[in-house]
Amino acid sequence: MSGVINKKLVQKRFSQAVGSYDQYACIQKIMAGELLRLLEAVNFAGKVEKILEIGCGTGYFTQLIMHSLMANKRFSSSEILITDISSDMLEVCKNKISRQFGLNNNLYFVQMDGEKISLDKPVDLIVSNAAFQWFQDLNSALGLLGKNLNKNGWLFFSTFGESTFQELRQIFSSVLGDKRRPGQQFISARALDELMVNNDFKEVKVIKDYYRQYFPRARDFFAAIKKVGASNACTPQTGSKGYLGKKHYRDILNYYQKNYSTVEGVYCTYEILYCYGRKA
């Protein structure tokens, strides 16, 4: 079994990947574009004065928000609080936004764990792209986020669903012959919908989509995961081994190459969940 998400390790991994993230974050960019499309399609009741972004990373989704939503009168004077668990990621994002849009009194950049968010005043909109899978307790996090939303405020986010890396899970089972997993477990669409409803969100929508990404070799897949800071960040459970030895790693690479190769290359599956809801 996989262990609990280690937040210090998450922070370290993303800080280490700050220089390579933009080049390798292909799936995250697809997710950002679709999340923005869903956000733009919602008819917000009244002016959105305060926005919180959780997990800005290097700022790709932040830039999309600035370009698109700030052109809308309903958002043009909004205050935006931009956060990330990694100070290095946050600094890169801040520099990008500064170069493109300038920094003004409506923009705030704060290092913060989105799962333990604490605001002086509630906001009208919370957005997050590809970050919630790093939460230790999504149910508690959604409850806390709801408390930091004004009445009729909206939460929009994307995350990874249960079929993500299904090839890797099957490989671990076949090669290692035990119950160890290659990282954290991802949530199902049904379970996510239930969590949103149980935390008093209305008009909840969970949209499921699939992407298959190809790599020249199995080794390139693992390298790409590392380059975006998304390597396993779970603390092993008591009695389980923490890391793979060289032999096991080599066996996994060989099995992956042999069983999941096409003319386009070695592939992996991503199940993406796009979710939004209104706070009652």
Give the count of domains, the chain. Answer: 1
**What is the residue-wise DSSP string for 165-192?**
THHHHHHHHHHH-SS--SSPPPBPHHHH
Domain that holds residue 49: 4-279
Q: What is the pLDDT of residues 235-270, one digit of tens each?
A: 544 444 555 678 888 999 999 999 999 999 999 999
Using DSSP's 3-state secondary structure scheme, residue 202 falls into strand
C-alpha span between 123 and 50 (Å, rounded): 5
pLDDT at 235: 56
State which amino acid sits at residue 164: T
- pTM, to two decimals: 0.92
pLDDT at 239: 42
Residues 110/83, Cβ–Cβ less than 8 Å? yes
C-alpha span between 83 and 111 (Å, rounded): 5
Residue 178 clears pLDDT 70, i.e. is over it: no
Q: Looking at residues 62-70, what average pLDDT do you find?
A: 87
State which amino acid sits at residue 53: E
pLDDT at 233: 60
pLDDT band at 76 (very low <50, low <70, confident <90, very high): low
pLDDT at 180: 62
Q: Looking at residues 227-235, what average pLDDT do you find?
A: 75
Residues ≥6 apart with Cβ < 8 Å to 199: 139, 142, 143, 146
CATH number at residue 56: 3.40.50.150
pLDDT band at 207 (very low <50, low <70, confident <90, very high): very high
Q: Phi and psi of 257, rounded to 5°? A: -60, -40
Mean pLDDT for all residues in the chain: 90
C-alpha span between 157 and 31 (Å, rounded): 9
